[in-house]
Structures are given as C-alpha cells and as structure tokens.
Structure 1
Amino acid sequence: MKKILIAFCMTLFLAACGDDSSSTGANGSETQKEMSSSSSEERNNNAISSSSRKNSSSSAKQSPEELLGPWNNPVVSSSSVEESSCEGCIDWSIPKEAYLNPEIEYDSITDERDGKVYKTVKIGEQVWMAENLDYSDSVKTPSLLGKSWCNGNDPKKCEVAGRLYTWAAAIDSVALSAEGLDCGLHKVCELPEKVQGICPQGWRLPSLEDWLAMLSEIGGDSYAGTCLKSQLWDGDEVNPNFDRFGFSAIPAGAFHKTRMFGDTERDNSGEFYGPDERVAFFWFASEETKLYAYFLHIFYNTYTLFHSGDKDNAYSIRCIKDY
C-alpha cells in the first residue's frame, strides 16, 4: 500500500509540474535545523507538509492544526541529504522581470501608495502577485518602522527580491489596533477572516486556506514546491521544469533576529539568512502562539513545507487579490 501511495503522489507531481530529475533531493534533519528559526528548546519544530492536506475547503474558523491534521515531521537520515551549494545562487545583478516565466501571460498592478508595479498571475481561481512585495513607507504605515529590511541592507536587493518583513509588519498590527485588535509579537488575537496587512488596496495577506487552495491547484504534494520556483531559481541556467504556473518564487532568504532568553524584546541585531542556501519564506495570516506564526518554506530541493517561526524574524510577502 505504501508503494502504491508513493507512486500515486509522484503521478500527481509529474502531471502538474513535469519531471524534475535535477532537483529531487530530500529534506534532512541538518537542513531543517539550519533553515527554520522555529527550532528551539521552547517547543518542537513541527513542520507541516503540503502533502498532508486534504480538506482545503474547511471552515475559516478552524485553526491551522485542525485544517492540516496531526502530522509527524518526515525527517530522513542526514546521510541522504543533498548537499546545498552556492553555485548558481540568486543573481542580484539582473532585474526582477528576468525571474518571470517568459511563456506565462502575466498581468500587472500598480501600488498607488508608492507607484511600484508588480506582475500578477492567475492560478486556478486565484490571482497572486508574481513578485515579492517591496513597500517600505513607515510614515504612511507605522507598522513598518524598524520591522522590514532589504537583504544584506542593500537597497538594490529589494529591487530584485522585495523586502523582508516581521509578522507584525506583515499583518499591519498598527492598523489592526485601530480596529480594536491587539496583535503581533508577544500577543495572540483573533485575526479577521481577511487581513489586508501591508498589501495594496484590493489585495491582502494570504491565509492558510489560500495557500492550500493554490497548492492543491498545482499538484497537492510536497513536490509542488518545484512548480513555484522561478526557472532561474538556481542562477542563470534555465530549468524548464520549474515555474509551470508563473508564481516565479526566488530564494530571497530571511532576516533572523538575535535570540534572547524568555520573552525579552529583541533589538534589530541579527543576520541575513538564506540566499546562499537557495530558500524562500512567505508569511501568511495565521499565528501559533504569542511568539510564533506560520509561513510557507520553499527549499533548494523540491520540498515545500509549512513551519511556524519567530514572529520577529523577517520573511517575504506575496499578496493575493481580494475578491
């Protein structure tokens, strides 16, 4: 039965994304400890595989745990982990448009707040940004003050891969407080069903249900991560097996705050993480505890997982059109 199930999953993947023999490594325990800041003594690192999701139409009232069901982290022996190399890392010198799929018909929107233009793509019944958000006006949006960064503090990298935001910035905690909701780091609140966050007008921060619906559309198993990657994910060598739906993810990395003991507020010291490891992180509007919220994690190999991580780490944002 196990062999039949594995064969069935691979059939789904091949039908949706095509054969990806160049990137079929497994996610090992060493890689996972490096990639996710949610590994700590305070709690177990419960990564949630996209292959475990069956009921993406569940009620919005359900928690992420209820939507995804109980799941044990599928860690394999470190001896079988594909070695990560910086050969073919993201090329910051080429424009962001180069990372799009030339065979996909994209639309575009203009963010009226700063005039920046983003390509968009329709996947199933959803419309997603095909580029990472790069909005930084902390005067108009106070939630951003001291809570977003360009990778390596280099503004040119923001032009390619967008900004990295803490979870409080992503949900626009200041705007939510004006609605009577006290949300963010060290807090737990009942978020609205739809959270605009720092997305442009008419767009919003995706929910878990949004990600589940999209992943179901592109294959529905852990190998669906291949479908989300830009054809230039591994540098300037085009991989035609990637980016079948035009999501065009690039390994923008993350900013991880310096760890401190207990619930002590952290300063802005930390380190930028990930571009040389070829990984991407995307926040969505679901929290686990007062310290942890959920994000989608795309690895250098074919894996795509959900994790919960520190709310004051900074990850990328992809907005979804709000109908």
Structure 2
Amino acid sequence: MKRHLLSLIFSAFVLTAMLSLASCGGDDDGPTPDPCLNTTLAVSATSDVFDITATGSGGESPYEFSVDGTSFQSSGTFEDLDPKEYTVTIKDANECTNTTKVTVDDVCADLAVTAAVEEYTVEATATGGTSPYEYSLDGSTFQTSTTFADVAATDYTLTVKDANSCTATVAITASDLETLLDERDGQRYKFVTIGDQVWMAENLNVASDTARYCYDNVAANCDEYGAMYSWYAAQVAAPDGWHLPSKAEWDELETELGGNSIAAEKLVVGGSSGFEGALVGRRKEDNTYAGLDAVVIYWASDESSDTDAQNFILQEDAASVNIAGSDKDRGLYIRCIKN
C-alpha cells in the first residue's frame, strides 16, 4: 500500500515537472524584438520656393510623412508653406520614425516695385525676386511691358508678380498722373487739359544761370509763385516735351474759354478751367516788382520787335494777349504748353 502511494506521488511529481518545463520553454520563443531598435529608416528633404519634397529609405514601406509631427500623409510633397524651418518626420509600416530639418526660404522678401508717374503714364521698375516679371494696375490683368500709357487720372495700386508668383505693390495717386516731372531738378508740375491744349497748371520754377527772378528778390517767392524770366531765358526754359506758348496758342486758350472777361474768370485761381492763374505780379525793367494780387503776365514766344516780345496778361476781370509786348529783359512768368 505504501509502495503504491509513493508511486502515485512520484508520478504526480514527474507530471508537474513536465508541465513546468513545458510552460518555461517548449514552443515559446520569448518576447517580440522591437522592429525600430536597429532600424535603417531615414528621411531626406529639400525645399524649392515654398514647397518641401521628402523621400524615405530603409525601414519597411509604405512610408508616411509630416511637417508638423502630427498630421501624416503618404505623399512626401508639401506645398505653399510659410517661410521658416521645419522638422520633417517619416513613419514606416512598423510605426518607426525618423526626422530631418529643412528651411523654406522667403524668396519674396526682397521683391519690390517702384513707379515713375507723370502725364497719364506709369513706368514700373521691379527689383529683387526672380525674373521674369509681370505688372498690373488693377490686380488682375498682368502684362510683361513695364509701361502703362494713357492711364485715366484715378488712384491705382501697381502690382509686380515674379516667376515665383511673389507680389509687391506701390500706390499711385490720381494727382501723380496729372503732373509733369521735370527731370532736371525733380520738381513736379500739375497740368490741365483745356480744349485741345494741355497746359501747366503752375508757373515754371526751374533754376537758370541767368535772367531768373523771384518776386521782391526773395528766393522763397520763387517756390511759392514760380520764377520770372527774361524772354531770352524763357526760350530755353521749358522741359522736354513742352514749349513756351505762341501768341496763337494763347489766343486759342482765351477763345476756348469764352474770351476776355469770361475767360479770365475761368483762368484765375478757383476758376472752372483748372488753369489756376495766380495774380503774382511782374518784374519791371528797373528791377522793381509790382502787381501782386492784381495781375500776372506770361511770356509768348512771338517777338514784337528786336527789343520786345508779346505776352499774355491775366487780371481778375480781363485776359488778353498784349500785341505790343514787353521789353525782352523784363521778368515775366512762364506757363508751358505740351508739344
């Protein structure tokens, strides 16, 4: 009986040992190794304008990519990104990841446009960015030409667009378009169209080596009223594209506006013509000045004699061409007319 009991106990021990050995080994290979521990997964990235292109290698495809570490996509291309440094992340089929850094440069940073504006014409100049450039005044219609001619007198925004679709702008005002830029000294003059003629709406004030006078010999008065010139100096004083008006051109102006007193009301400051003829006097032959707030006299290009030339007299209630003329050495104002 004892022997039988011991045999049962031994058999139970052997069975327990076998079960224990089976649970400790047998067909179990142990814990699964980490697939990312020695992975060869790598990512490379390049930037072009505002895009990033990432490519992967190693690891186990398929790959996914991200530039914010959160949102992943199967494509390695990211478009229209803000200029800054990015951390590009790759993730493979085993959820392994790797990163690299790439910078998107601001290729638009130095793009700029300037505008030379005068006489209803805009001339654009672009710098920086990447050529070729295109230009627009309305923001939608672009052209390769830098010149906009016969532009209506209103406010605009001039836009330049480069090869990378970067844009830069500059404001243009209606008043700029209705001015003449005298490139000799950088001064601007307003002008006005009256009938078929285009007149300066300000008196000329270009520096001259000889025969240029300021009212009462005060230099500041040239800046306020314009300068007076001898007839000889007046012959060569006009900027390119403009000239000293003839008697016939003064006559045409007066006739266009109704003649004499009617024309005068329209020609003086505040009149309906836009000529803005301020009554700023004259210089007499004895180098004295008179007529401020009463009269203004402008040269015409026609001679009356060897010593005299014709002029146009404007007063509050009268406007007319003086056929007899004035001494050519007298100081009178200049209103240029467009060629």
Normalised TM-score (structure 2):
0.46
Structure with greater strand share of residues: 2
Larger Rg: 2
Q: Which has the higher helix share?
A: 1
- TM-score of the pair, normalised by structure 1: 0.48
* Higher RCO by CA contacts (8 Å cutoff, separation 6 or greater): 1
